[in-house]
Structure 1
Amino acid sequence: MGLIGGLLTTLFGARRNVVVETVEAFRENAEAGAGRASDHRAAVLAQFAAEMARERRGGWDRFIDGLNRLPRPAMAFGTLGLIGAAMADPVWFMARMEGLALVPEPLWWLMGAIVSFYFGARMQAHGQSFEREMVEALGRMRAHRSGSIPGPAPAPAALPSPRATGPDAPWAPNAALDDWMRTQP
Structure 2
Amino acid sequence: MGLIDGIMALLFGAGRNVVRETAEVFRENAEAGAARGAEARQQALAQFGAEFAQPAQGGFDRFVDGLNRLPRPALAFGTLGLFVAAMVDPLWFAERMQGIALVPEPLWWLLGVIVSFYFGARYQAKTQDLQRDLARSLTQAHQVKTNIEMLRDLRADSPGSADPGTDAALAQQLEGTDPNPALEEWRRRQKA
TM-score interval w.r.t. the shorter chain?
0.3 to 0.5
More helix by share: 2
In the superposition, the TM-score normalised over structure 2's length comes to 0.34
